[in-house]
Structures are given as C-alpha cells and as structure tokens.
Amino acid sequence: MQKHRNNKPIIIWLLSGCFIIFLMVILGGITRLTGSGLSITEWDVIMGSVPPLNQADWNIAFDKYKQSPQYQKVNTGMDVEQFKSIFYWEYFHRLVGRLLGVVFIIPFLYFLFRKMLDPPLIRKLVIILLLGALQGFIGWYMVASGLVNRPSVSHYRLALHLITAFITYGYTLWVALDLIHQNKETSPGHITPLFRKLTITIASLVVIQIIYGAFMAGLGGGKIYNTFPKMGDEWIPSTFHPVFASFFDYPVGVQIVHRYIGTILVILGFILVYLHRKNPVPALTSAVAFFIIALVIQFTLGVSTLLYAAPITLAALHQIGGFVLFTSVVILLHESTTIGKLSTF
C-alpha cells in the first residue's frame, strides 16, 4: 500500500469534522427536546446566519412564527422574550451546521490545491461533502413538515435527518481510521466467521435502534409505559394490536420495538465479549471493551430515561450515549475489517 507523505493534518481535519457532527446531533436533540426546532420558519443560508439585532427584527421573526401551527396550537400566548429562548437553540443548531460546511469545504480545497490528496481519497472526501449537503437539505425538509397543519415534525423525516447525520459521521470516521491505519503496523489475527457475522448483526441492530430512537422522540414514546422490564403489568400490553403500521406510526408499537432491540443488543454484546475471550485477538481487545462499556451505559441511560418519562437531561444524555455507542461500533467494524484483510495475506 502506498503511503501518504503526511496524513496527520488530514486526519485531524476529519476528526474535527466528526466532533462538529457530534455537536450538531447533540444540539439537534436539545432543540427538539425544548420544542425549539420550528421557531425559525425560513431557511436562508447566508442572511440566516445573522440573528435579529434589534427589537424590530425580533418582532418580524416572531410574527412569522405566529403563523406556524406550533404557535397556534401549542404556544399561543407566548411573548417575544419567551420566543427568544426557543429561537436561539434552533439558531445555534443551524449556525453549527454552517460552521460544519466551512470546516469541511475550505480545508478540502486547501489540501486539494497543495496536492496532498490522491484520487481515491478525493472521491471519498467528495462523498463526505455530498452527504453534508444532503443532510442540510433533509434538515429543512424535516422542519418544513411542521410548518403546515401539524405543530410537530414528521417522525419519519426526523429519523431520516438523524440517521443521515450518523451515516455522515460514521463514513467520515471510517475514512479517518483508514488514514490512521495506513502507516500503522497491525498484527493480524484470526477472526472467526461467527465473530464477524455477530459484529455485522450488532451493527445493523444499532442502526435500526437509532432509527427507532428517532421514532420514539418524534412520537413521544418515552412518555408512556414508564416501567421496566414490563410495560405496566404486562410484557406486551394486551390492548396492543400488532399490525404492520403499529410498529412505525404508534408510540406503543415503537416503544415495544425500541425496548426489546435494546435488550437483544445487550445479550448479543455479551456473547461477542465471550467469543473474544474464547478466541482473543489482541488488536481487537480495546475496541471490544469500548463497545461493551458504551453498550451497558447506553442501555442504563435508556432504561433510566424511560422510568423517569424522558426528562430533558436524561433524554439528552441518552442521545449522547447513542452517539458514543455508534462510534464504538464503527471502530469495532473497522478494526475487525482491517485485521481480517491483513490475515488473508
């Protein structure tokens, strides 16, 4: 494999982008939890980067918000000062999104001009830029669903917005890890087919769980059946009718899927640890440890969030935990894939 003359600046750039995406997701979660996401009713990439600067500007922004279903059906009677408190969460969320675009585009052009990027890496970086642009479009597409008739965004669009952010983050992290490993000697080990299949299964379930986490948030699924492990006095409510749509459009069905996938993930996680202990691959030990710790913490946060009916602090921590868990899965997949390739030589 051909070595780059100096990957360090590119790696730092990509990891910085990962951190800003992480910050974006956290701000997005807080924006949603505080009901702030629909406070800005227009999308202006350039002029929208400047908040209202005087009372007249605030009155104009507030008058536009008054036309939205959220104000008319949920926040009727809100004054300008109260409006400012929700406006700023959404404003900072969008501002970080703009910062993310600058952080990715300007260094990319610099590295390109300095001929520090080879063609395969350029193609990967272009994909990252396109994913970032797509994420911005989906963000507005999501907000638009709450500006006509309904006072909240579509949980489908919310899930699409969230999973696109995770995909962008995961792909960026993967490219950075590729560069980190490019000039790093890794001792190959024998990864069993069962371990590899289980890792892929866990990664797939984590992605599904993230989507259902967005469904839970969009439908208010954390506000009902605030008991664990049973839902009230039953494992599955007797009033629940398991038709196809109920697992996507109704809080009870969505919560059933979310809580049981979480439980299955914990079981599979400990099986993965057992398989690693039975057939240890030293180069994977740290990745496996990071994953199981992140998984246990996230499961604990999820149960706590449910038991306390999704208060803002716990719900935000649960979203952070989901991001850390996803990070651990990407690293685990990357490490096992890299070792697997080396072991075939």
Long-range residue pairs from 103-110, CB within 8 A, at least 24 positions apart, any chain: 103/13, 103/16, 103/17, 103/20, 104/17, 104/128, 104/129, 104/132, 105/129, 107/13
Residue 242's pLDDT band, with cuts at 50, 70 and 90, is confident
In angstroms, the CA 15 to CA 178 distance is 12
What average pLDDT does the structure give for the chain? 89
Indicate whether 39 pLDDT > 90: no
Q: How confident is the model at residue 49 (pLDDT cuts 50, 70, 90)?
A: confident
- Dihedral sign for Cα 120, 121, 126, 127, please: positive
Task: Tell me the per-residue pLDDT of 100-148, one tens digit each, with 9 for 90 and over.
Answer: 999 999 999 999 999 999 999 999 999 999 999 998 888 888 888 888 7
d(CA 161, CA 134): 9
The answer to whether the CB of 165 falls within 8 A of the CB of 323 is no
Nearest by Cα to 37 from 169, 243, 218: 218
Of 68-72, 270-274, 297-301, which gets the smallest average pLDDT? 68-72
Q: Which amino acid is at 72?
A: Q
Residue 226 pLDDT more than 70? yes
